[in-house]
Structure 1
Amino acid sequence: MSRKPQWDYGLGPLAKAAEIGNVKEVSKLLEEGADPNTLDKVQRTPIYWAAQNGHVEVMKLLLEKGATINMGDNTGYSPLWIASQHKQLPAVKLLLSSGADVNGNGNEIPLFIAIQNDADEVALELLNSGADPEKKDQGNETALYLAARHTRPVIFNALLEKGADLYTLSCYGQGVLPEAAERACLEIVQMILARNPDKEKIQLERAVKEVDRIMDRLQIWGPDQDRLKKIQELLHAYNARNGNKKSRKRSRKQRKRTRKQV
């Protein structure tokens, strides 16, 4: 479904036709000599607008006529970045196969925007096409931390398989374990602990304290409460195995309660 721009970007005839996916009009304009790289008011090209809305056939026509695919607008957004943001997987595949820069630059990183918009398929395509799992944005954060923040376990696992550093930190110094625990993402917590991480580097104590605080002070009901309870048990059990007496005592009490319930 086509999406009309909310503001006047000064789109010319070719960009307007590309934005709405009008293959016939785009073909006609190109044959008449229209420049495939003509710029609008914010330095966006026709292929940018076609990519945003997933108009692959229009994109092919533009590419055949020499459309530049790595040109960013005045904020740095490239056709690949906007296609990733809008979950336009076929457009992403076409751009990548045509030589688009998979990593982007600055804060305009295709992989990051895909994670932020829950576009798992797009993120996986980017990773499988060579996206750097260790690339950092201007805030010095990596895709792995972003996947923990946005609770994307599929992407988190894929990043680990690609060699992402498990001990990466946010710009505020927080690790992926406390981040995932706070957000009640049981799957990511399980993935992290399954790798038997160093408890200091993974900030185990910080994660334990934060989850305990949430469970003790907040009234959370439903699925989130259940997940947090399981996370709390997992963290204390792991902490106990690593020599923490308080967690060991708590884990023993938990096992006793479980036996009584059975």
Structure 2
Amino acid sequence: MSILAFEKFYVRWLEEMKHRFEKLRAALLQASLSEEEVVAVLVQACHSHYCEYMSEKIKLCKEDASFVVAGMWRTPLEAGFLWMGGWRPTTAVVLAYSLMGMQIESELQKLLEGIELPTMAALSARQLSMLDSLQQKLRVSEDDLSNRLAILQMLLADQQMAKATAANPPPSESNDFQDVREAMEPKLAGLRDLLAEAEQLRGETIQEMLQILRPIQAGQYALAAYEMTMAVRKLGNQREGKSHLAAVSSGAPTNIRELASQGDVDLLAKALETGVDPSEPDYDGRTPLHLAACEGHTECVSLLINKGADVNRKDNFGVTPLFEALRAGQDATAQILVESGAKTHLEDAGIELCRAAATGDIPYLSRLVKYGVDPNASDYGDRTPLHVAAAEGNTEAAAVLVREGADVLAKDRHGFTPLDEARVADDQATIRMMKRTFEVVSFRSETDHV
């Protein structure tokens, strides 16, 4: 999942979560010990919806771990209190104790009279013991993850990174980040693993809390957690709103990357009139044109190009706006870019084509070759995408490649051809198609010779 897709998902997810908790709040107002089952169903619905958010966040970790650990889809206030890209698991236990203390104050007389209550004020000795055990376990797990993160952060300055940043010319004066990327990749992989473990720990914490608490207690607990989260978010939004108003009143230019990604062409045009650079990059080197192309905002793409945006500007990962459009399936923006002189300039084109061929992603494969990626580009083993399609039995992918000029007799480093791969896979349809192609090419060659 891309960052922009996740941000849109999060907005929709929050709105749906609001509706679910409105139902839970209404049920809790009517709840009694005899109605625990109704509340239990609503709590489970809220939990399932939260699990959907956790799942999408884990997917995003694989795409951009640094974005997740910084909590950049949240307000700065919220992000300031994050641990490993989310809430610290031990806060779940602290909230339970806080609710218990608060409710004991309001319901002390009923407790003294021995009235059975379904609230957090009536946590049993067994429940308290389980909460204590959970808290101790979480502290150990949190300390382990935090220590491993600290080690990973220190390794940012290891010998491999020092060597990569001591290149001539230095990274500050060059657009070649290949050595830096290679030095950073194991660190980012470690960060992804830590974030996945932290998210798993949060998920396990919620499960254990729901097992410890009775249904109505769980409902009150879940509602309190939701309200606390929303309160911090709203306070963060108010603080950001003031900052934004201050920026506008001082004449500061609007973030044109955000406007481009949202497709707000009118505000983008006004922002560009202030003289801001139409190719102003973000921390990853992505320009407004990268973001508009990825989202398919054709008017913004045309506007940026007319204002002088560099159509072939690469981000820090070597990706051009055209490749962003192709990867996202935005044919209309891709066409505008090509007509304006854009090229894919795709690094590791063979690897990208082979990946598409292996997964059978025909639309993506077709777009790549249509917009100039060589169908005979090879991977590190000199395998072309046609080798891969034949080996995987993806006849449709093979047909697309052959139609676009892929060589059925291209040899990999072991001397195998795509036709050989098809024979090994016993893919008769691909074999027949390749043989027909070979015969046609041979006939044309002989005719030309004569």
C-alpha distance in 1 between matches for 2:338 and 2:352 = 11
Query: CA contact under 8 A between 2:360 and 2:397: conserved in structure 1?
Result: no
C-alpha distance in 1 between matches for 2:414 and 2:290 = 34
Query: CA contact under 8 A between 1:76 and 1:108: conserved in structure 2?
Result: no
User: Which deviates further from its counterpart, 38-47 or 124-133?
Assistant: 124-133
Query: Whose Rg is larger?
Result: 2
C-alpha distance in 2 between matches for 1:9 and 1:36 = 27
1:122 deviates by 5.0
Structure-2 residue corresponding to 1:38: 280
C-alpha distance in 2 between matches for 1:87 and 1:116 = 18
Structure-2 residue corresponding to 1:190: 432
Structure-1 residue corresponding to 2:92: none
Which residue identity lines up with residue 325 of structure 2 in the other structure? A
Which residue identity lines up with residue 386 of structure 2 in the other structure? L
**Mapping 1:149-164, distance limit 5 Å:** 152-164=394-406
C-alpha distance in 2 between matches for 1:41 and 1:111 = 28
Structure-2 residue corresponding to 1:16: 258
1:109 deviates by 7.6
Q: 1:69 aligns with which of 311, 333, 338?
A: 311
TM-score using structure 1 length:
0.59
Which residue identity lines up with residue 99 of structure 1 in the other structure? G
Structure-1 residue corresponding to 2:5: 3
1:3 deviates by 2.0
Structure-1 residue corresponding to 2:385: 143
Structure-2 residue corresponding to 1:227: none
Structural RMSD (CA): 3.6
Question: Residue deviations 1:117-171, cap 9 Å, x none?
Answer: 7553454354344432323345533232344356554442243234322123456
TM-score using structure 2 length:
0.37
Q: 1:82 aligns with which of 317, 324, 338?
A: 324
Structure-1 residue corresponding to 2:16: none
Structure-2 residue corresponding to 1:50: 292
Query: CA contact under 8 A between 1:167 and 1:176: conserved in structure 2?
Result: yes
> Kindly tell me: are residues 187 and 24 of structure 1, through their superposed partners in 2, closer, same or farther at Cα, counting changes over 3 Å?
farther
C-alpha distance in 2 between matches for 1:36 and 1:109 = 31
Structure 1: 4+ residue segments shifted above 6 A? 8-12, 181-184
C-alpha distance in 2 between matches for 1:134 and 1:191 = 17
Query: CA contact under 8 A between 1:47 and 1:69: conserved in structure 2?
Result: yes
> Kindly tell me: are residues 62 and 163 of structure 1, through their superposed partners in 2, closer, same or farther at Cα, counting changes over 3 Å?
same
**Larger relative helix fraction:** 2
Unaligned runs of 5+ in 2: 8-59, 61-66, 74-253, 440-450
Structure-2 residue corresponding to 1:106: 348
Which residue identity lines up with residue 35 of structure 1 in the other structure? D
Structure-1 residue corresponding to 2:418: 176
1:83 deviates by 1.8
